[in-house]
Amino acid sequence: MATKKKKEEIVDYRDHLRALKEKGPQRIYILRGEEEYLRDSFLAKLRDVCVPEGLESFNYRRLDGPKLNMDKFSAAEEALPFLGERTFCEIHDFDINRTSDYDPEAFRAVLTDVPDWCTITFVFSAEYSMDGRITPVKELHKYAQDMNFTRQSDSDLSRWVQNHCLESGKTIDRKTADHMVYVCGAFMNALLPEIAKVAGAAKGGSITEQDIDAVAKRAPETTVFNLTDALGNRDYDRAAFLLADLLADRDETPSKLLYMISEQMRRLYAARVALDSGQGGAYIAECFPEIARQEFVQRKLLQGARNFGRARLGRAMERCADCELAMKSGGGAEEELLKDLLLQLAIDDDTD
């Protein structure tokens, strides 16, 4: 059965903006998470609050790279503000997990002695994960406000799409905004250029689903969704076409595509269990917290799962696991292994 993932708290971006306005900046922040647009937006607002325009050369410091020079870190912390009330220090992509690259004791000493006028912000990429078992990470969390910028709910994301479409001179209704998110993906940085592209190409004053389908770049996750839908509908020619489309995208490796296909099969299995047990989207959200607030995706999964039996989906997950093992063991060219996987998934279309 589907393995339940650890539930992750959803960050309400507006709450953090209100806290910044009402309480002012804190001494130490951790900014991380997969929604990099919101992370960078909050960082910009925090920077503006701490260092008004024109004072950047006096009161702003930025340190970059995996290795953090403790002398420069300490100097940035101790610098007095000039012509302003605060100083601000950004630290990007520090590899806190590699304690051999810095002095953990010196790091702790700096954290414990941040003056009232200074704000230090650690900015981590979406892919980076801190090792919570090591002392420096524990120390950082002890003194810092940890902000994990997660994907937003359907309603928040659709409202955001509608607002940005208006800024581009077009209107879009909620249903069509949901469709844009489905086609282009749920990340704001990926949506922004597609909104501009669709708004520029749309002939009328309102954006339609046809406008989106005509020019928007599809996220690979969306193509994988369509591929499994094609398998469920027994449209194997379309499934083969969609796999070829995925393989033609050189930004996506076969191993990453296999992961997405495997994850989609697991989600469909959970959706099939939800249908059989009458639990609906709540069960899917419990199994996959990352889509807990994406009701549109949950509805699409439930719809797609109606075309699969539970046994077939179970076998599909096993075949995905076998394909992953073959890739890791060098059991063949990765693209050919993916094509063979699709063939196996297509052959196994018995009614169960």
> How would DSSP label each residue in 282-345?
HHHHHH-GGGTT-HHHHHHHHHHHTTS-HHHHHHHHHHHHHHHHHHHTT-S-HHHHHHHHHHHH
- The Cα 157–Cα 38 span in angstroms is 12
Q: Is 105 exposed, middle or buried (0-12, 13-18, 19+ CB in 10 A)?
A: exposed
**What was the pLDDT predicted at 351?**
53
Distances (CA, A) of 24 to 21, 120, 193: 6, 14, 33
**What was the pLDDT predicted at 251?**
82
| Each residue's pLDDT expressed in tens, for the chain with a length of 352 residues | 444 444 455 567 788 888 888 888 999 999 999 899 999 999 999 999 999 888 888 999 999 999 999 999 999 999 898 988 899 999 999 999 999 999 999 999 999 999 999 999 999 998 899 999 999 999 999 999 999 998 888 888 999 999 999 999 999 999 999 999 989 988 999 999 999 999 999 999 999 999 999 999 999 999 999 999 999 999 999 999 999 999 998 888 999 999 999 999 999 999 999 999 998 889 999 999 888 878 888 999 999 999 999 999 999 999 999 999 999 988 779 999 999 999 999 988 655 5
**What was the pLDDT predicted at 11?**
63
- The Cα 120–Cα 249 span in angstroms is 39
* DSSP H/E element including 18: helix 13-23
**What was the pLDDT predicted at 4?**
47
**What was the pLDDT predicted at 90?**
95
Residues in the chain: 352
**What was the pLDDT predicted at 296?**
86
- The Cα 89–Cα 307 span in angstroms is 54
- Are 216 and 192 within 8 A, CB to CB? no
Phi-psi region of 33 (alpha: psi -120 to 50; beta: other; left: phi over 0): left
pLDDT in tens, 23-44: 889 999 999 998 999 999 999 9
Please, which residues have CB within 8 angstroms of residue 332's CB and are 6 or more apart in sequence?
326, 340
- The Cα 245–Cα 266 span in angstroms is 22
Read off the DSSP letter of residue 144. S
pTM > 0.85: yes or no: no
Beta bridge partners of 206: 171
Nearest to 322 by CA among 343, 337, 336, 339: 337
- The Cα 39–Cα 59 span in angstroms is 22
**What was the pLDDT predicted at 15?**
83
- The Cα 316–Cα 262 span in angstroms is 8
- Are 87 and 79 within 8 A, CB to CB? yes
- Are 130 and 137 within 8 A, CB to CB? yes
Dihedral of alpha carbons 81, 86, 90, 95, sign: positive
- The Cα 278–Cα 176 span in angstroms is 28
- The Cα 111–Cα 352 span in angstroms is 60
Distances (CA, A) of 302 to 44, 143, 325: 39, 43, 29
Angle at 38 between CA 251 and CA 282, to 5 degrees: 85
- The Cα 274–Cα 302 span in angstroms is 8
Strands 118-123 and 87-92, sheet pairing: parallel
